[in-house]
Amino acid sequence: MIAGLSHAARLVRAAYVFAREGVFGVVDPSLIPPAGQLPVRLARLIERPGAKSGARLSRALTRLGPAYLKLGQFLATRPDVVGAAMARDLEALQDRLPPFAQEEAEAVIAASLERPVAQAFVSLSPPVAAASIAQVHRGEVEIGGVRKQVAVKVLRPNVASRFRRDLSDFFFVADKAEQYSSEARRLRLVEVINTMSRSVAMEMDLRLEAAAASEMAENTKDDPDFRVPTVDWDRTTHNVLTMEWIDGIPLNDHKRLAEANVDTVELGRKVIQSFLRHALRDGFFHADMHPGNLFLDPEGRLVAVDFGIMGRLLPKERRFLAEILLGFITRNYRRVAEVHFEAGYVPAHHSVENFAQAIRAIGEPIHNRLAEEISMAKLLTLLLEVTGLFDMRTRPELILLQKTMVVVEGVARSFDPRLDIWKVADPVVREWIQRNLGPIGKVEGALTGAGELGHTLSSLPTIVSRAVTVLNQLEVMTKDGLVLAPETIAAIGRTERGRTRGRTAALWIIAVTFIGVLIAMSRL
């Protein structure tokens, strides 16, 4: 009961901030159950002047703090949950917060590295950038008598406990929504928050970000157009990440790029092809490739920073991506449909022919347009919408890929509005298909399959033994019935009591929300 009231108090504050920033004004009334329409109308009465302009939800999330900022950024990658319009609003959400004090940062560094800051760094500047989880300082180190410039990323003090508290509120809301809403269960809101929780946990261990940068550096070491900053592992811990400082031009600084006479058409090509190589060839891609995280170094190579959000694609997903892109290019819609069924994305009870017809409805308009008018990102968005009609369950890795493709394509076209996305992508896609689906790839696939078959055959005696044990247990259950241990019965009782407390807490939330709205109205 106490925990429920704590959730309620914090959620009422969040609801008040949403109301003040006019968030309830963008909610479609037809989507609100009759019981919720009156509270929403009351909430509209306390909108602050000027709240009707701009990105209302982004403003509210920024006011509510780091966890809500991350929630907004995460939901921007899930248009299947929040809708396309809301996702576009959230894409503009800036993860920028005031920096914390230099003294606090140096205390975190000293405690994490177990030595004074002066011993670890020759110099350490005030913060040059600050976000919800960490901030970045420019530093200088001396290695082998040579001084080098580094970027030092430091976690915010006590950020983990703040996130845990707010994430518990998100879980509370998601769980209650799934209890009372079939739509919430379809969207798997608890799983959405679970995924976000895992992502944030990884971002708050800077060793994992360093490992992601190191892995991508190995994958791209032979790429002529792309590179990754070097990690300084001697000065990297859970709370501190030290990397090579990049003296390059940020891709969002178009003025400096123009002054440097950069070939922007070629730069757009590098952005698209680099991303596709990482996704198809490596199955490991930077999932936050906005212009502020990309630099152009003096050698003309792209350099990525901030590896907190990464995406992975298994071989099956890579084949899926390559074949659907090639299928749309060649107008082989039947093959695109077959790939969905072969990969298990669309349930087998659906018709391949009907699904191919839906795919054709997406692909045919492409062939009536000029190349620069065709958006690969939009195509993938439409594809995910169509697959939803055929009961394709949400696949986070494909959603993340699609959202990253939207950002990457937007960056590339900002440099070349007439960019032929298909012509640029074609050599990368065809190279991957020839390597993986051609004769060499089929031979390698057969060898891999043979190895897996041999492993299964060697495990056959154990599998048979386990099957016999299960059959014996089923026979006993059939003869004697299912017997519950006293501990199990007690656990069931505790669960039922917990559900009752949950319903009571939900009623308290409604009551306290009304009280909060009425108090706010009385002060207007």
For residue 516, what is the enclosing H or E element?
helix 486-522
Q: Whose CA is closest to 327, among 318, 315, 338, 317?
A: 338
CA-based torsion, 296, 299, 302, 303: positive or negative? negative
CA gap 132, 97 in Å, rounded:
6
Residues paired with 152 in a beta bridge: 137, 242
Residue 347 phi, psi dihedral angles, 5° rounding: -55, 145
223 catalytic, yes or no? no
Residues paired with 124 in a beta bridge: 139
Residues paired with 402 in a beta bridge: none
- CB-CB contact of 74 with 196 (8 Å): yes
Indicate the residue type of 46: I
CA gap 129, 153 in Å, rounded:
9
Q: Number of helices (H) and strands (E), helices first, in the chain?
A: 23, 10
The catalytically annotated residue of 89, 169, 288, 416 is 288
| CA of residue 140 relative to chain centroid, distance | 33
- CB-CB contact of 294 with 303 (8 Å): yes
CA distances for 13 relative to 19, 105, 112, angstroms: 10, 30, 35
Residues marked active site are found at 288
